[in-house]
């Protein structure tokens, strides 16, 4: 058990699961980290299926969703997902990765029994992947950090809805079997569950991005007169943004959990290197410049962990946690960027090579500072709330 990971205040069932997940990721998943099936656009479906079969055998597939269909609390989920993140492949293997983890949460909360049986069951079983179609091309003025700019439209047509538009940075669209599509109607934003692939949803290209841990990569997609049965709408017309909030705060926090685990591992690798590598007559960690960086890593990791559990407790109280998840996303992503950067620096040439996962973790965390809302957007949102609170309290 890593000495860096919290155990206090977590239920016995979650700790047991967390220990099983950690052992599985370290002992079974980590040896796959140099597998040739890991490409520029993420792990191939072949390796995904192989890893999930191993996770199923080990009893750690989709561990945050219980056999009766219930969900661990957010605090319990944190204990499990942090450990699944100890390898970039861990969330893929355990079926705790984005976007599937957030999509499962949303369908579980908002889907009808029929939609859950059709779309959620195969996701929980790890047999299918999913994609969340919200972001649009920036060059066309579409929705990004500001979802109100959404240009994809939907209109009723008999007992169907017809959707038209373009989407961008759609994680996992290539190879997904389940899609959640957001579009705007006269009533406002709407969400639809769709089967994939569909001839009306065309992948134009998969983008070359700095990160490569997520199967299917990030795609630009054209939606051309997609017909969706009315009973595949999530909830009611015009309530799409409300449902997005149900998904976004927990999903934002789940990113913090997973990448915290990855940075714990990067720090472990850097610490091992610093305690073995000799330079100028002594091991690197005895040089103040290196030792202090590792000490600062420990501080940032603990602060990130405490913020993550604090936000989890807020969500467990039943609150949306919009403000708290923004605060946590900023604090954790920025802290983990420092940890990843120091880990690379401590390792010198080895830190920028593919010999260890430290270089990949650095790239993934750099992308994390943008995904699920850039740091600056969250700060701007928090500043607006400070202004509103000031006016209210005057």
- For 136-190, write each residue's pLDDT tens digit: 999 999 998 888 999 999 999 999 999 999 999 999 999 999 999 999 999 999 9
Residue found by looking up tokens 């080895």 in the block: 350
Q: For residue 116, give the DSSP letter.
A: I
Q: Is the pLDDT assigned to residue 232 strictly greater than 90?
A: yes
Q: Is the pLDDT assigned to residue 6 strictly greater than 80?
A: no
State residue 242's pLDDT score: 87
Secondary structure of residue 11 in the 3-state scheme:
coil
Q: Which structural domains are found in the chain, ordered by start? A: 12-97 (1.10.540.10), 130-236 (2.40.110.10), 241-393 (1.20.140.10)
Residue found by looking up tokens 């100028």 in the block: 280
Residue found by looking up tokens 């040739």 in the block: 36
pLDDT tens, position by position, 282-294: 999 999 999 999 9
State residue 377's pLDDT score: 95
Could you tell me the pLDDT band of residue 360, with boundaries at 50, 70 and 90?
very high
Secondary structure of residue 226 in the 3-state scheme:
strand
Rounded mean pLDDT, 196-216: 97
Cα–Cα dist 75/158, whole Å: 44
Rounded mean pLDDT, 251-264: 97
Cα–Cα dist 260/362, whole Å: 12
Mean pLDDT over the full length of the chain: 95
Could you tell me the pLDDT band of residue 1, with boundaries at 50, 70 and 90?
very low
Q: For residue 175, give the DSSP letter.
A: T
Rounded to a whole number, what is the distance in angstroms from the first to the last CA of the chain? Answer: 50
CA distances from 113 to 118, 131, 232, 266 (A): 9, 20, 12, 42
Q: Is the pLDDT assigned to residue 213 strictly greater than 90?
A: yes
Cα–Cα dist 70/120, whole Å: 13
State residue 85's pLDDT score: 98
Rounded mean pLDDT, 80-103: 97
Q: Is the pLDDT assigned to residue 231 strictly greater than 80?
A: yes
Cα–Cα dist 317/143, whole Å: 31
Secondary structure of residue 115 in the 3-state scheme:
helix
Q: For residue 71, give the DSSP letter.
A: B
pLDDT tens, position by position, 337-354: 999 999 999 999 999 999
State residue 4's pLDDT score: 59
Cα–Cα dist 193/120, whole Å: 10
In terms of DSSP H, where are the helices of the chain? 12-24, 45-58, 74-84, 90-94, 100-110, 113-115, 121-124, 240-276, 288-316, 322-347, 358-368, 375-393
Could you tell me the pLDDT band of residue 247, with boundaries at 50, 70 and 90?
confident
């Amino acid at each position: 058990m890593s000495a860096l990971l919290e155990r206090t205040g977590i239920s016995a069932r979650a700790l047991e699961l967390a220990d099983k997940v950690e052992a599985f990721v370290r002992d079974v998943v980590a040896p796959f980290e140099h597998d040739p099936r890991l490409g520029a656009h993420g792990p191939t479906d072949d390796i995904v299926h192989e890893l999930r079969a191993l996770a199923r055998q080990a009893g750690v597939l989709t561990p945050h969703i219980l056999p009766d269909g219930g969900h661990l609390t957010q605090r319990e989920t944190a204990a499990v997902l942090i450990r699944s993140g100890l390898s970039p492949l861990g969330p893929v293997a355990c079926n705790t990765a984005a976007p599937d983890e957030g999509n499962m949460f949303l369908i579980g909360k908002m889907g009808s029994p029929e939609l859950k049986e059709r779309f959620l069951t195969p996701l929980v079983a790890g047999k299918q992947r999913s994609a969340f179609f919200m972001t649009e091309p920036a060059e066309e003025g579409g929705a990004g950090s500001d979802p109100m700019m959404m240009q994809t439209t939907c209109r009723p047509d008999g007992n169907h809805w017809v959707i038209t538009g373009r989407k961008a940075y759609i994680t996992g669209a290539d190879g997904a079997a389940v899609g959640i599509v957001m579009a705007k109607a006269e009533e406002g934003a709407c969400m639809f569950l769709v089967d994939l692939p569909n001839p009306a949803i065309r992948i134009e290209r998969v983008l070359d991005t700095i990160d490569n841990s997520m199967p299917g990569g990030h795609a630009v997609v054209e939606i051309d007169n997609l017909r969706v049965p009315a009973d595949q709408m999530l909830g009611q017309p015009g309530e799409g943004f409300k449902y997005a909030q149900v998904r976004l705060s927990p999903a934002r926090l789940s990113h913090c959990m997973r990448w915290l685990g990855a940075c714990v591992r990067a720090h472990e690798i850097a610490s091992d290197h610093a305690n073995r590598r000799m330079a100028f007559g002594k091991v690197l960690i005895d040089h103040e410049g290196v030792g202090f960086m590792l000490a600062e890593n420990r501080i940032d990791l603990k602060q990130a962990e405490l913020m993550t559990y604090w936000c989890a407790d807020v969500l467990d109280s039943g609150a949306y946690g919009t403000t708290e998840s923004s605060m946590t996303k900023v604090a954790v992503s920025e802290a983990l960027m420092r940890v990843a950067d120091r880990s690379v620096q401590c390792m010198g040439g080895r830190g920028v090579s593919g010999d260890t996962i430290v270089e990949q973790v650095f790239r993934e965390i750099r992308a994390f500072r943008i995904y699920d809302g850039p740091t600056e957007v969250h700060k701007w949102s928090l500043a607006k709330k400070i202004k509103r609170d000031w006016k209210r309290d005057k």
